[in-house]
């Protein structure tokens, strides 16, 4: 009987711990011409801050969002500011003290088309933040 109770409690504990993976789009920011869009999104694999990773996907506006395709990713920060200078140049500002997990200086076409003829230059800039968030109202500029 004790073994049966322990087995049931173990199964309940294991099933309660499973969070799965969740994707939340935070915001999207179109390029000056509106033909390209950058999406900031969060991938969560648990409830703790270390279980969350922020990512940026850049793609043609006509393409569907794909959370597996990204050009920049970081942890321990929950915000970003996107500044399009042109359709071929973008600046991404991210919270100071973030842990960069993936960073591309040039996106060939977009993260979903991989066209070597269309390059988007990316500049990255660390910015002061409060607990990984910026104290600004606007996060998309073009």
Report pLDDT digits (tens) over 5-33. 444 444 444 444 556 899 999 999 999 99
pLDDT at 61 over 70: yes
Determine the average pLDDT of the residues in 69-89.
95
CB-CB neighbours of 111 under 10 Å: 23
Provide the pLDDT confidence category of residue 107 given band limits of 50, 70 and 90.
confident
Distance CA 52, CA 98 (A): 12
* pTM passes above 0.75: yes
Burial 55-65 (b: 16+ CB within 10 A, else e): bbbbbbeeeee
pLDDT at 117 over 60: yes
- Residue 20: the pLDDT is 86
SS3 22: strand
């Amino acid at each position: 009987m004790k073994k049966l109770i322990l087995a049931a409690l173990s199964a309940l504990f294991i099933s309660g711990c499973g969070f799965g993976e969740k994707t939340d789009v935070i915001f999207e920011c179109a390029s000056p011409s509106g033909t390209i869009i950058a999406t900031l999104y969060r991938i969560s694999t648990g409830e703790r801050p270390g279980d969350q990773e922020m990512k940026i996907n850049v793609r043609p506006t006509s393409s569907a969002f794909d959370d597996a395709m990204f050009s920049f990713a970081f942890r321990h920060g929950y915000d970003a500011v996107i500044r399009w200078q042109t359709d071929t140049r973008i600046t991404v500002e991210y919270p100071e003290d973030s842990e960069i997990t993936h960073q591309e200086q040039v996106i060939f076409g977009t993260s979903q088309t991989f066209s070597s003829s269309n390059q988007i230059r990316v500049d990255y800039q660390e910015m002061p933040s409060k607990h990984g968030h910026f104290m600004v109202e606007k996060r998309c500029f073009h």
